[in-house]
């Protein structure tokens, strides 16, 4: 990244990539190898090219900086941040993106990043630029969308158990949910939230003890009806 020419804007994208690792919500951060904020942790991202769509730029940066080949997860625009002083190099307006994926590969450091790693969402360091705020907005968006969309399935791989799906909610909301009630809500959603996935790996390495659970796949629904609301959303 070079300095922006006077009287012109630089437009960048910054991605809040979330996943579930070890039953915790984690955020991918990159350690900056160059000034400003050299040595600080920051969101993966970078300049948008002159002939490039914003979404395409987000996908490209996601791949370049994290070593993810062909990002398959969910990607959506979050908000745009453009206070004049947010980047000491000049006027940089950045479009924040929210990306979600299951816990698959380990990210690799990319071009101008000295290091890259997952950080638990509740143990984040102080970030470069205004990235703290972007991360906060991204996590809040994820929490909210779990309520009325089927986005939770973006965090787990193809055949999954309802326990896994419930753990997505529990990790992101930070509260325990009652398995029986969660099950009822997921299975009674009208356009189907999940559909049964044959008996894919029914008898396998046995990760846990107890009765084996049925496997499901994402159903046709995108919006959840009725919604699955988080307990104590502030009132009630």
When CB distances are held under 5 to 8 angstroms depending on the partner's kind, the choice from DNA, a second copy, none that residue 211 binds is DNA
| Binding partner selected for residue 93 from a second copy, DNA, none, CB under the kind-specific 5 to 8 Å limit | a second copy
Is residue 53 within the footprint of a second copy (CB under 8 A)? Answer: yes
Query: Quick one: which of 51, 123, 206, 220 contacts DNA (CB under 7 A)?
Result: 206
Residue 124 structure tokens:
């984040």
Q: Which of residues 174-193 bind a second copy (CB under 8 A)?
A: 190-191
Q: Which of 139, 182, 143, 146 shows the shortest CA–CA distance to 161?
A: 182
Kindly calculate the radius of gyration of the chain based on its CA atoms and give it in whole angstroms: 19
Q: Work out whether strand 113-120 and strand 92-100 pair parallel, antiparallel, or are unpaired.
A: unpaired
Q: Residue 60 belongs to what H/E stretch?
A: helix 54-66
Q: Pick one of 7, 208, 220, 234: the residue that binds DNA (CB under 7 A).
A: 208
Question: Which pair of structure tokens corresponds to residue 44?
Answer: 């993966």
Contact 3, 151 (CB under 8 A): no
Give the SS3 label for residue 78.
strand
Residue listed under structure tokens 């799906």: 165
Query: Taking CB within 5 to 8 Å according to partner kind, which of DNA, a second copy, none is near residue 103?
Result: none
48 scored as a contact of a second copy (CB under 8 A): yes
- Residues forming contacts to a second copy in the complex (CB under 8 A) are 4-11, 48, 50-54, 77, 79-80, 82-84, 91, 93, 95, 190-191, 223, 225, 233-236
- Residues forming contacts to DNA in the complex (CB under 7 A) are 161-163, 178-181, 183-185, 187-188, 203, 206, 208-214, 226-229, 231
């Amino acid at each position: 990244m070079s300095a922006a020419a006077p009287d012109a804007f630089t437009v960048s994208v910054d991605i809040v990539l979330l996943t579930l690792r070890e039953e915790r919500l984690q955020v991918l951060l990159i350690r900056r190898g160059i000034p400003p904020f050299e040595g600080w942790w920051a969101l993966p991202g970078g300049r948008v090219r002159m002939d490039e769509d914003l979404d395409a730029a987000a996908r490209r940066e996601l791949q370049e900086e994290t070593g993810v080949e062909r990002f398959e997860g969910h990607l959506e625009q979050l908000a745009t941040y453009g206070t004049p002083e947010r980047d000491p190099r000049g006027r940089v307006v950045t479009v924040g993106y929210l990306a979600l994926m299951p816990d698959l590969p380990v990210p690799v450091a990319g071009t101008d990043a000295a290091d890259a790693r997952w950080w638990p969402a509740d143990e984040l360091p102080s970030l470069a630029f205004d990235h703290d705020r972007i991360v906060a907005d991204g996590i809040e968006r994820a929490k909210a969308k779990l309520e009325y969309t089927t986005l939770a399935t973006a965090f787990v791989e193809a055949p999954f158990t309802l326990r896994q799906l419930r753990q997505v909610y529990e990790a992101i909301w930070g509260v325990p949910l009652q398995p029986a009630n969660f099950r009822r809500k997921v299975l009674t959603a009208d356009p189907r939230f999940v559909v049964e996935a044959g008996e894919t790996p029914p008898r396998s390495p046995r990760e846990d003890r107890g009765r084996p659970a049925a496997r499901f796949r994402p159903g046709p629904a995108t919006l959840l009806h009725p919604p699955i609301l988080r307990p104590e959303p502030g009132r009630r």
